[in-house]
């Protein structure tokens, strides 16, 4: 990305929308000036400009909740930036995974109307758990134990799926497949591999051969 292409406003700022590269959740909205944008490009971590303090700030400099930049994109008018990141902790100063936790409707609702919206929701919740690490949560436990434990659970659940299928037990099978899908999503998060990339492989395989 060339900084020269960006159209800064009259204050020398451009809005930067920070998005989790894996879950696609919008984490925060901040502002960059030319210097902070250049630092972000050079260090591959997010730097912003504080309008209240009138100074640069490095996300996570004091909290440790840095954001590793995967990609930076600008819109068709070159006056806004989307920053795709791998967060090392909560994005919000309140300790929340995202700054956009509250709904104007008074409740957290998901707008995806499809039957598979639960997959998007589960991926988002897993990402939230990894960022906030709430005590007592099973997902927190898996991330604390690390990849070996997660892989063990994936293997165990795959075995349970096989047993349920061999036993011709559809009621048990649906529960075991649900457990397997959950643990696979946790594994993808631990590996920083977006589910979208897995779906892209399926789409590519599904294309008719010419």
Judge whether 112 lies within some domain. Answer: no
Q: Are residues 80 and 153 in the same domain?
A: no
The CATH number for 153's domain is 1.10.287.1080
Report the first-to-last Cα separation within the chain, whole angstroms: 36
Q: Are residues 83 and 133 in the same domain?
A: no
Q: Is pLDDT above 70 for 210?
A: no
Q: Are residues 186 and 121 in the same domain?
A: yes
Give the pLDDT confidence score for residue 4 in this predicted structure. Answer: 87
Q: Are residues 81 and 157 in the same domain?
A: no
Judge whether 61 lies within some domain. Answer: yes
Q: Are residues 196 and 123 in the same domain?
A: yes
Judge whether 183 lies within some domain. Answer: yes
pLDDT digits (tens, 9 = 90+) for 142-157: 999 999 999 999 999 9
Judge whether 58 lies within some domain. Answer: yes
Burial class of 89 by CB neighbour count within 10 A (0 to 12, 13 to 18, 19+):
middle
Q: Are residues 200 and 138 in the same domain?
A: yes
Give the dihedral of Cα atoms 71, 88, 40, 26; nearest 10 deg: 60
pLDDT digits (tens, 9 = 90+) for 156-194: 999 999 999 999 999 999 999 999 999 999 999 999 998
Contact indicator for 83, 18 with CB cutoff of 8 Å: yes
Domain that holds residue 73: 3-87
Domains identified in the chain, total number = 2
User: Average of pLDDT values for 126-148?
Assistant: 97
Q: Are residues 145 and 78 in the same domain?
A: no
Judge whether 101 lies within some domain. Answer: no
Q: Are residues 130 and 82 in the same domain?
A: no
Judge whether 80 lies within some domain. Answer: yes
Q: Which of 87, 103, 131 is the last residue of a domain?
A: 87
Alpha-carbon gap, residue 90 to 139, rounded angstroms: 16
Local structure of residue 79 (DSSP, 8 states): S
Helices 147-166 and 138-145: crossing angle in degrees, nearest 10, is 120
Pairing of β 81-87 and β 55-58: unpaired
The CATH number for 60's domain is 3.10.20.810
Judge whether 56 lies within some domain. Answer: yes
pTM recorded for the entire structure:
0.74
Judge whether 133 lies within some domain. Answer: yes
Alpha-carbon gap, residue 89 to 132, rounded angstroms: 6
């Amino acid at each position: 990305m060339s900084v020269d292409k960006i159209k800064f406003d009259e204050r020398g700022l451009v809005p930067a929308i920070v998005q989790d590269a894996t879950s696609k959740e919008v984490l925060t909205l901040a502002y960059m000036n030319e210097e902070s944008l250049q630092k972000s490009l050079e260090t591959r971590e997010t730097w912003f400009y504080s309008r209240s303090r009138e100074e640069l700030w490095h996300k996570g400099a004091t909290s440790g909740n840095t954001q590793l930049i995967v990609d930076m994109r600008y819109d068709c008018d070159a006056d806004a930036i989307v920053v795709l990141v791998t967060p090392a902790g909560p994005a919000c100063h309140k300790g929340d995974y995202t700054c956009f936790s509250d709904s104007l409707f008074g409740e957290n609702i998901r707008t995806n109307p499809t039957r598979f919206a639960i997959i998007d929701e589960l991926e988002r919740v897993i990402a939230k758990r990894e960022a906030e690490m709430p005590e007592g949560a099973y997902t927190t436990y898996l991330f604390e134990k690390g990849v070996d434990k997660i892989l063990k659970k994936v293997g165990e659940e795959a075995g349970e799926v096989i047993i349920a299928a061999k036993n011709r037990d559809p009621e048990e099978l649906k529960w075991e497949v649900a457990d397997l899908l959950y643990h696979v999503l946790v594994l993808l998060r631990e590996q920083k591999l977006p589910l979208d990339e897995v779906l892209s492989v399926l789409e590519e395989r599904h294309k008719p051969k010419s």
